[in-house]
Amino acid sequence: MAAALLGTRQTPVVAIGSAFIDRVPPWLKDLAISLFGTHDKLALKTGILVVLLALAALGGILSVLRYWAGAAVVIVLAGVAVIAASTRPDAGQTGFAPSFVAGITALLILRLFATRLSGLVRYPEDGVSRRGFLQLSAGVTLGTIAVGALGRVIGGHRAAVAEARDALKLPLPPSLDPPAGVQAAGAGPWATPNEDFYRIDTALSVPLIMPSDWKLRIHGMVDREINLNFSDLLQRKVVHKWVTLTCVSNEVGGDLIGNALWSGVLLKDLLAEAGVAANADAIKSTSKDGFTAGTPLSALTDDRESMLAFAMNGQPLPVEHGFPVRIVVPGLYGYVSATKWLAEIEVTRFDQFEAYWTPRGWSEKGPIKLSSRIDVPRSKASTGQVTVAGVAWDQHVGVSKVEVRVDGGQWQEAELAADASIDTWRQWHWTWDAPRGNHVLQVRAFDAQGNPQIEAQAPPAPDGSTGLHSVDIKVG
Ligand SMILES: Nc1nc2c(c(=O)[nH]1)N[C@H]1C(S)=C(S)[C@@H](COP(=O)(O)O)O[C@H]1N2
Ligand SMILES: [Mo]
């Protein structure tokens, strides 16, 4: 159940089984395959469960004699599962958790049984203890079956979607390599790997959509309604484009920003095909789970290549990032544009609707604000030549200059890495001859027209934070 809720495949049995498969000598693997054929995995799981039952029985017996001896068996067992789960290549950040939860649950249940059983061992004829024990056994059994079944329903659907995702053949970009020269010395990766891409949404459990079930309806103030399924979408002309997404909730210096190579179909083409009414000024996009975003039509029909994206860095969208289809609009914060698990697009007018975040205190329109961030160093440096590096962004406007200053002194121009386009962030670096002591580094950027970044501090609400990123560095 915990694995299903957390969306990880690492149940204790799967984790230990997978770790075991990776470690068995080849002859044993071959023997298992020759004995059990394609049922070798079932055989392994059965074997694990048999060993588990035997150890559980041992733990139970020990716990009646001495609770902690039984508990030790459980702790070792759960510990092995936690280690196995957290060292799997696809462990992620939550892989260890189901085994951990299993260990805690087992300890609690062992405690309940141990108290009931020790009474029964002392007074075998006592009907009350006997009934208590039987009731507990029945309760634990039923509870286990119920929770397990629920976990299987949730997890099974997720697994089916993951499998369908793995099996997709998508029109992919010719190369996943970043354009030449965009990486600045010392800065973090210019292209954000999917696993490290920030995730922000209101979905407590992610919508699980089979590509074969995905449908999009484009309607409202249009001449012709368009209905698309996933294979219709893939038949269309596909573009690949690097775009930096940013969340309006990003604090100054924050990490709710990521840069990826998106593949998809231009919204401009679809909207032209639908025939948009002259007095329409917005689209309201709705996700499978009911989130809505309101986006100015102008940002979808101009030359910025806003798209219905189905791939991210050459892979089908990860489920958390909107599988199978989301919107990507360069230059606008995610909350007004980047609808994941897209289900519907209504062409309309801003005076006709309110999108999800508007009545919750966020601005109706959300162009991204010019910002910059220091990535290295963040807290310490040694005296002498220190590389100061980071990113600056003003999507769909562009960054023309970045400056750094130390302890409020003169602004010094940093060196800019190459610009992939005005729709991505731009890296910069600057070499600092760092003297011993505590210092404050600050950065500011200028947009393509030479306007400086807003220095006044403002919080994210209602339309994006402003202020300069400062870091305190201890040099020594
Ligand atoms: N369906 C849905 N799409 C959504 C959201 C959401 O809550 N639900 N959040 C938006 C916000 S606020 C942001 S910043 C981006 C984040 O996209 P990411 O999680 O892929 O980084 O998705 C946008 N799309
Ligand atoms: Mo966001």
pLDDT tens profile 140-196:
999 999 998 998 888 888 888 998 999 999 998 999 999 999 999 999 999 999 999
Task: Give dist(CA 251, CA 229) in Å, integer.
Answer: 38
Domain end marker among 108, 133, 155: 155
pLDDT value at position 33? Answer: 72
Query: Average per-residue pLDDT in the chain?
Result: 93
Total domains in the chain come to 3
Helices and strands of the chain, counted as H and E runs? 10, 19
Residues with beta carbon < 5 A to ion ligand 2?
Answer: 200, 247, 334-335
Check whether residue 377 and residue 428 sit in a common domain: yes
Q: Is 350 inside a domain boundary? A: yes
Question: Cα of 317 to ligand 1 centre, how many Å?
Answer: 13
Per the structure block, which two tokens stand in for 164?
Answer: 């369908």
Q: Is 465 inside a domain boundary? A: yes
Per the structure block, which two tokens stand in for 225?
Answer: 């309604």
Average pLDDT (425-438) is 98
Which residue has the CA at smallest separation from atom 21 of ligand 1?
199
Q: Is 170 inside a domain boundary? A: no
Q: Quick one: pLDDT band at residue 4, thresholds 50, 70, 90?
A: confident
Q: Is 418 inside a domain boundary? A: yes
221-272: per-residue pLDDT in tens?
A: 999 999 999 999 999 999 999 999 999 999 999 999 999 999 999 999 999 9
User: Closest ligand 1 atom, CA of 246?
Assistant: 14
User: Closest ligand 1 atom, CA of 321?
Assistant: 20
Query: Pairing state of beta strands 469-475 and 380-381?
Result: parallel
For residue 235, the surrounding DSSP H or E stretch is helix 230-235
Rounded (to 5) percent helix, strand, coil in the chain: 40, 25, 35
Check whether residue 108 and residue 16 sit in a common domain: yes
Check whether residue 398 and residue 352 sit in a common domain: no
Q: Is 179 inside a domain boundary? A: no
Question: Cα of 290 to ligand 2 centre, how many Å?
Answer: 16
Q: DSSP secondary-structure letter at 467?
A: S
Task: Give dist(CA 366, CA 294) in Å, integer.
Answer: 10
Q: Quick one: pLDDT band at residue 43, thresholds 50, 70, 90?
A: confident
Q: Is 174 inside a domain boundary? A: no
Check whether residue 118 and residue 90 sit in a common domain: yes
Check whether residue 332 and residue 202 sit in a common domain: yes
Task: Give dist(CA 390, CA 428) in Å, integer.
Answer: 6
- Sequence-distant (≥ 6) Cβ neighbours of residue 138 within 8 angstroms: none
Identify whether the C-beta of residue 403 lies closer than 8 Å to the C-beta of residue 443: yes
Identify whether the C-beta of residue 307 lies closer than 8 Å to the C-beta of residue 266: yes
Domain end marker among 128, 155, 182: 155
Ligand 1 contacts CB of residue 144 (under 6 A): no
Check whether residue 319 and residue 382 sit in a common domain: no
Domain span at 310 = 194-360
11-36: per-residue pLDDT in tens?
A: 888 888 888 877 878 788 777 777 77
pLDDT value at position 205? Answer: 64
Check whether residue 376 and residue 228 sit in a common domain: no
Given CA atoms 21, 25, 26, 28 in this order, what sign does their dihedral have? negative
User: Closest ligand 1 atom, CA of 289?
Assistant: 1
Check whether residue 336 and residue 400 sit in a common domain: no
Check whether residue 329 and residue 391 sit in a common domain: no
Question: Cα of 320 to ligand 1 centre, how many Å?
Answer: 9
- Sequence-distant (≥ 6) Cβ neighbours of residue 232 within 8 angstroms: none
Q: Is 261 inside a domain boundary? A: yes
Which listed ligand is nearest to 197 at the C-alpha? 1
Check whether residue 220 and residue 73 sit in a common domain: no
Check whether residue 375 and residue 310 sit in a common domain: no
pLDDT value at position 305? Answer: 98
Give 155 or 410, the one with higher predicted confidence. 410
Question: Cα of 290 to ligand 1 centre, how many Å?
Answer: 12
The sheet with strand 226-229 has its strands ordered as 226-229, 215-220, 342-348, 282-287, 292-296
Which listed ligand is nearest to 258 at the C-alpha? 1
- For residue 240, the domain's CATH number is 3.90.420.10
- For residue 447, the domain's CATH number is 2.60.40.650
Per-position DSSP letters for 24-69, written without gaps between them: S-HHHHHHHHHHHGGGHHHHHHHHHHHHHHHHHHHHHHHHHH-HHH
Residue 72 has a CB neighbour count (10 Å cut-off) of: 14
Task: Give dist(CA 112, CA 230) in Å, integer.
Answer: 52
Check whether residue 341 and residue 396 sit in a common domain: no
Q: Is 404 inside a domain boundary? A: yes
Ligand 1 contacts CB of residue 341 (under 6 A): yes
Write the CA distances from 208 to 211, 335, 340, 389, integer angstroms. Answer: 10, 21, 11, 39
Domain end marker among 155, 184, 206: 155
Lowest mean pLDDT among 22-31, 63-72, 396-405: 22-31
With a pLDDT cut of 90, the percent of the chain lying above it is: 77
